Amino acid sequence: MQVHERFVGLRLLDALAVAAHRVAQRDDRAARDRVVLDGRVLLRVSLCGQHARIVGDAHAGGEHPRAALACVAVSTAAHPLELRLLRCTVRGCGAPLELAAHALVCARGHAFDRARAGHVNLLQPQDRRAPEPGDSSAALLARERWFERGRAAALVAALAARGAASASGAWLDLCCGTGAFTRALAPRGPAFGLDLAAFAIERAAKRDPARAWLVANADRGLPFVDGALERVLAVQARLPERELARVVAPGGRVIAVLPGARDQLELRERVLADARPLEHAERTRALFGAGWRVAHEEQLEARVACDRAALADALALAYRGQRASETARLAGVDELVVTQAWHVLELERC
């Protein structure tokens, strides 16, 4: 069983709560786990009915005051927002956030209300300057339709086969949109979806209240305490490498799904008269340098027959079709077979 070195620097109760979730999500009813702080095994966590039983470790290599917690039950039904994995986004603060009543609050008194749908908006005033921060609702709904009609099935199957949904620690879908990939791949353990678009997060929260949905600006900072995450899924999302290095625990992974070289080749030929191969993987590898290693890499392709409505969605997915000249080039096209190509880069935190 992997030792929880990732919890170094977190409060003991934080470590216990996450360890309890890790144990509860395992199919093995005799599952065990250990909590390690500062290199010392403090407590063992085991499954006891619907609760995690916290027991002092006799092999801890010395006495520790916390080991007196000989029989403490921690509920395993906690919502991810209750696990104290988030931190305050107020500039200069960064204190851990705790769920109190209907808000997340930090020790310095900053508070973020939990909306009726269940999500939390962590944006600061400087993030709200645009009328509609993040992707437009039209683009988000186009992406949702594209996914729900099975056009990303090959990608979902490949990610599932690679264990993208198997994390037993905290899991994040970065730039999750309306949560399609989150719903398809998130494990039963604590899972978060994060996006800059409030419209997307509210829609996601209404459809899946068991997850923690956050409106936040990842470019300004990820709202997680250090080492909080075991797995991050980023499907064609901007990758804040420095922040990911901070919040992903050693041994944790970032699964980056990038556009493949031939992605939307036919559409690009029609709309932009541009058939050059896309190049994203090399830049991403260069971005994730020291402290990361490439654990897995693969390229996927699928061809999709698109009618006019699907072509309009495909344009929105690629942030094209905003100009009249671009849409005019597809005016006489009733159907087009479009190549979808993905480059999956799995990066492990060393």
Same domain, 98 and 222: yes
Please give the radius of gyration of the chain, using alpha carbons only, rounded to the nearest integer.
Answer: 22
Same domain, 160 and 179: yes
- Give the model's pLDDT for residue 56: 54
More confident residue, 133 or 305: 305
Distance, in Å, from the CA atom of 126 to the CA atom of 157, rounded to the nearest integer, reads: 39
CATH of the domain at 172: 3.40.50.150
- Give the model's pLDDT for residue 42: 52
Distance, in Å, from the CA atom of 246 to the CA atom of 244, rounded to the nearest integer, reads: 5
- Give the model's pLDDT for residue 67: 29
Among 78, 105, 127, the domain-final residue is: 78
pTM: 0.77
List the Cα angle 198/190/200 in 5-degree steps.
15
| Residue 202 near residue 211, CB atoms below 8 Å | no
- Give the model's pLDDT for residue 333: 86
Same domain, 94 and 189: yes
313: helix, coil or strand?
A: helix
* Residue type at 22 in one-letter notation: R
Q: What is the pLDDT of residues 146-179, one digit of tens each?
A: 999 999 999 999 999 887 766 678 999 999 999 9
- Give the model's pLDDT for residue 167: 65
How crowded is the C-beta side of 327, counted as CA atoms within 13 Å? 10
Same domain, 13 and 57: yes
- Give the model's pLDDT for residue 133: 86
Same domain, 100 and 74: no
Same domain, 121 and 160: yes
More confident residue, 56 or 196: 196
Q: What is the pLDDT of residues 178-216, one digit of tens each?
A: 999 999 998 878 999 999 999 999 999 999 998 999 999
Summary mean pLDDT of the chain? 80
- Give the model's pLDDT for residue 274: 79
Same domain, 58 and 160: no
The residue among 275, 252, 271 whose CA lies nearest residue 262 is 275
Report the 10 Å Cβ neighbour count for 86. Answer: 26
Same domain, 169 and 231: yes
Among 38, 61, 78, the domain-final residue is: 78
Specify the range with the lowest mean pLDDT, choosing from 22-36, 211-225, 281-295, 317-331. 22-36
- Give the per-residue SS3 of the chain: CCCCHHHCCCCHHHHHHHHHHHHHCCCCCCCEEEEEECCEEEEEEEEECCEEEEEECCCCCCCCHHHHCCCEEEECCCCHHHHCCEECCCCCCCCECEEECCEEECCCCCEEEECCCCCEECCCHHHCCCCCCCCCHHHHHHHHHHHHCCCCHHHHHHHHHCCCCCCCCEEEEECCCCCHHHHHHCCCCCEEEEECCHHHHHHHHHHCCCCEEEECCCCCCCCECCCCEEEEEEECCCCCHHHHHHHEEEEEEEEEEEECCCCCHHHHHHHHCCCCCCCCHHHHHHHCCCCEEEEEEEEEEEEEEEEHHHHHHHHHHCCCCCCHHHHHCCCCCCEEEEEEEEEEEEEEEC
Same domain, 124 and 226: yes
Q: What is the pLDDT of residues 76-126, one digit of tens each?
A: 446 899 889 999 999 999 999 999 888 999 999 999 999 999 999 999 988
- Give the model's pLDDT for residue 187: 82
Counted domains in the chain: 2
The residue among 22, 72, 21, 77 whose CA lies nearest residue 43 is 72
- Domain around 36: 5-78
Q: What is the pLDDT of residues 211-220, one digit of tens each?
A: 999 999 999 9
The residue among 8, 71, 176 whose CA lies nearest residue 18 is 8
Same domain, 104 and 208: yes
Same domain, 90 and 54: no
Same domain, 51 and 9: yes
Contacts of residue 290, defined as CB under 8 A and 6 or more positions apart, other chains included, come to: none
